Chains A and B, each alone.
Chain A
Amino acid sequence: MRSGDPELSRLVERVQSARAGHIALDIQGGGSKHFYAELPRGEPLDMRPLAGISSYEPSELVVTARAGTTLAELEAVLAERGQCLAFEPPRWAPGCTVGGMIAAGLSGPSRASAGAVRDFTLGLTLLNGYGEVLTFGGQVMKNVAGYDVSRLVTGSWGVLGAICEVSIKVLPMRPAVATLGFSLDESTALARLLTWGARPLPLHASAWLDGRLTVRLAGASAAVEQAGKELCAAVPGGELLGPQAASQWWDSIRDQHHPFFALTAAERARGECLWRLSVPSTSPPLALAGRQLIEWGGALRWWRTEAPAAVMRAAAADAGGHATLVRAAEKRAGAFAPLGASAMRIHRGLKAAFDPAGIFNPGRLYAGL
């Protein structure tokens, strides 16, 4: 990142004066994730002017982009060279940015097989609460020099600083893709996913909703074809979906424009919420009221429910995971699962280490951070 960049200098000045005046800053990209996490507060710090792909070398499998670059632009540039973001980050609105993708740390349908955003974050430049522009990690695949700040910042919801630029590992697109559909109840679908997951099959994504399991295979064409035939034959009624229908389906899950994820004003008013439960894939069906969509081979369970927060949090914790309140009329119960005392102490220490004046996205992750 060039230190003389006028946009960067402007941001540094904003941060320095915010620090001096104890002014909260709400770091903003495309604003597509405003509804997620706790309510944003503070003066907007618009990262979008800091945009553009700084370097891209397909043979190095690395792209470096500034925070305000739109995901649409980044993915288009990668697609021209037959490469992609293997973790399929959600695109909840057209203007969503690379900085927001890293700050939110959310991954899409392929997460269980391909890895999460943080697995592909190689390095980043961070503007911390001292107004310092710092670079951690780099553009190479293997790097253990110093603590892994890049991955710590990934998914931090901006509480440690403003992401200015990031280097991401990219991968070639899979040569062949096929989507299969099966009619299976929840427990049978979960059992099938576990059995298939323990075998060397080119499983790439899965989604179960309303008694229907869809599975995406991706990899070498011969392997996808072979596995497709085998899995279709293993479950009566198993069928291959057409490519267009399949791609629309996966986009609707990845980008959450499937109606399952939307709550009307009336539904919110009567207390219906959207919950994200991240649990071990081996967790049996959760005995909860509401409607469910399961991803990641059983490890991610979305619930639309009016059940109280305590019930949802306990169900996730009992299973060995955690529950996030994603959409709701209000989030008094906290968007994220509460932390233990030791973990919270480390979080507070990290906040103080990066942003001692507490100016960046205060309260967006947890109260007091």
Chain B
Amino acid sequence: MRAIASQADFLTALARILPAGAILARREDTAPYECDGLTAYRESPLCVVLPDTRAQIEAILKLCHAQGVPIVARGAGTGLSGGALPHPRGVSLSLAKFNRILKVDPLGCTAVVESGVRNLAISEAAAQFGLYYAPDPSSQLACTIGGNVAENAGGVHCLKYGLTVHNVLGVTGFMANGESIEFGSAALDAAGLDLLSTVVGSEGMLAIATEVTVRLIPLPQVARCIMASYADVESAGAAVASIIASGIIPAGLELMDKRMTAAAEAFVQAGYDLEAAAILLCESDGTEIEVEEEIGRMIAVLRESGATQIEVSTSEVQRLRFWSGRKNAFPASGGISPDYMCMDSTIPRKRLAQMLRAIEGMEQKYGLGCVNVFHAGDGNLHPLILYDASDPEQRRRCELFGADILETSVRMGGTVTGEHGVGVEKLNSMCVQFSGAEREQFMRLKAAFDPAGLLNPGKVIPSLQRCAEYGKMHVHHGMLPFPELPRF
């Protein structure tokens, strides 16, 4: 911190910008902001601010910039990698009051919304025009579009409709120094380098978003979902590859293993086959005639790949029931274990079965259970490691288990995070996926946007020192230090 005299002086300066009640500085008031969806990491911020105008945000950023105070932007706090974990000397900037839908353009199929608008609220506002916003992370009821932009959020339908980056046209906001900035435009491209693509998924490290222009797409006339059971995970994994190889891009293609199915069934009674080693949910959407044709082709491929039971939804109620278990997989896991840690790596689809077997081995090795739910169509894994956070020993083993999954994913040609972001959780794993030169390039990129390094410091890109220490720790635990990982 450069010029700051004291916390009290800083809060006094903030009070000139914001009304009373929009600044939370007492420990009991900031407690709800100590963590995001990754509750294992907690930190108390210097203060939390809740601005509701752009002018206030600009003034807050300028004040912080002048005094060298870190800024951590925050939406609904549903992130799963600790991206919104407060900085002990920083301001947590809540965008909760930026919750207005500014415009829905039914003709141009776009909407302009403030960054604190909830994901699902966009689709609800667009529904009257027969349109919706496609990316649908499981937390869509609560998570905000600003958070989705920060994490490049996906969801169960992104196989066909893309991630946040494919569905956002523009982002308006501020640079770290309080300068107003616009990335992208209302057109399909913008002049110059594609800064919009860089800002999407940058986890609050490059800029603060206040408004987002999203692309809306016509609601499909009909959607139907197939639930297919498999007697072993290998054939379920092979079925996923066969579907894609046959030229079909399903609207959703998800895999759950037996224990996940049991937990979800107990939680929401979705009607899952509890005898199956794995079940696939495979969805088709479009016009009546398209869906009928595609469902037929899907069933043929699933049968051929050894499905033991196939059920096709015949009503919207039934389709939503099939999905209810999948969408509640995380809370359902909370019902079978005191705590769980959700991993998020992505691997080539053909490795799914191999990965499930590897995870079984790790359960033995680390003495902890793991239930599996995958965005199988994209190869995006969400193994949920079950543990008790109140037991430090279990917590330690859980972290090693998680790191093992991530590093196995990198060895299989994948990545340590598919949609949840690096945050603080996967900093060590970034040392494994990227070389020192690549990480330094990331840091220089960050400096081009935020030379003072005030936006979300300490997240996403690990320091060289941290990686050096992590390398030593690996040797200490008797694992490979991975000096020559296959690059991809």
Contact = CB atoms under 8 A, between A and B. Distances in A.
Contact of A142 (B419, B439, B442, B448): B419
A159 B192 CA distance: 11
A353 B194 contact: no
A354 interface: yes
Contact of A58 (B193, B245, B460): B245
Contacts of B346: 138, 140-143
B380 interface: yes
Given A116-B188, A322-B185, A146 B107 contact: no
Contacts of A139: 348, 413, 488
Interface in A104-153: 105, 111-112, 115-116, 118-119, 123, 125, 128, 130, 132, 134-136, 138-149, 151-152
Contact of B185 (A60, A281, A321, A350): A321
A198 B444 contact: no
Contacts of A154: 194, 197
B229 interface: no
B335 interface: no
Contacts of A282: 105, 107-108
Interface string A37-60: 000000000000000000001111
Contacts of B444: 352-354
Interface in B363-411: 375, 378-380
B201 A147 contact: yes
A349 B448 contact: yes
A145 B417 contact: yes
A254 to B, nearest CB: 16
Interface in B397-453: 413-422, 426, 430, 433-435, 437-439, 441-442, 444-449, 451
Contact of A299 (B188, B191, B197, B446): B188
Contacts of B129: 198
Nearest to B170: A320
A138 B289 contact: no
Which of A142, A148, A278, A342: most chain B CB closer than 10 A? A142
A134 B435 contact: yes
B249 A278 contact: no
Nearest to B152: A144
Interface in B122-146: 129-131
B488 A135 contact: yes
Contact of B187 (A198, A278, A339): A278
Interface in B69-100: none
A131 to B, nearest CB: 10
A140 B418 contact: yes
A312 interface: no
Which of B159, B435, B445: most chain A CB closer than 10 A? B445
A128 B165 CA distance: 25
A304 B340 CA distance: 61
A194 interface: yes
Given A172-B249, A278-B188, A134 B437 contact: yes
Contacts of A366: 192
Nearest to B163: A142
Contacts of B68: none
Nearest to B240: A59
Contact of A198 (B130, B375, B447): B130
Contacts of A172: 247-249
A310 B247 CA distance: 48
Given A198-B106, A226-B289, A279-B187, A144 B420 contact: yes
Contacts of B422: 144-146
A144 B201 contact: yes
Interface stretch (B214-222, B256-264, B271-279, B319-327): B214-222
Contacts of B185: 278, 280, 320-322
B37 interface: no
A353 B441 contact: yes
Interface in A344-367: 346-347, 349-350, 352-354, 365-366
Interface string B237-253: 00001101101110000
B349 A60 contact: yes
Given A59-B245, A365-B193, A280 B159 contact: no
Interface stretch (B41-49, B173-181, B471-479): B173-181
B358 interface: no
B187 A280 contact: yes
A108 B189 CA distance: 13
B418 A143 contact: yes
B348 to A, nearest CB: 5
Interface in A205-238: 219-223, 226
A61 interface: yes
Contacts of A250: none
Which of B107, B187, B290, B418: most chain A CB closer than 10 A? B187
Interface of A: 1, 3, 57-62, 82, 105, 111-112, 115-116, 118-119, 123, 125, 128, 130, 132, 134-136, 138-149, 151-152, 154-156, 159-160, 167, 171-173, 175, 194-195, 197-201, 219-223, 226, 278-282, 296, 299-300, 320-322, 324, 336-340, 342-343, 346-347, 349-350, 352-354, 365-366
23 contacts: A59-B242, A132-B437, A134-B441, A138-B414, A139-B488, A142-B346, A142-B375, A145-B433, A147-B446, A148-B152, A149-B198, A155-B193, A172-B249, A198-B107, A200-B221, A220-B286, A280-B185, A322-B185, A324-B191, A343-B192, A346-B175, A353-B441, A366-B192
Given A132-B441, A143-B417, A144-B415, 10 more contacts: A3-B487, A58-B245, A141-B159, A147-B446, A149-B442, A151-B194, A223-B289, A339-B191, A342-B179, A342-B181
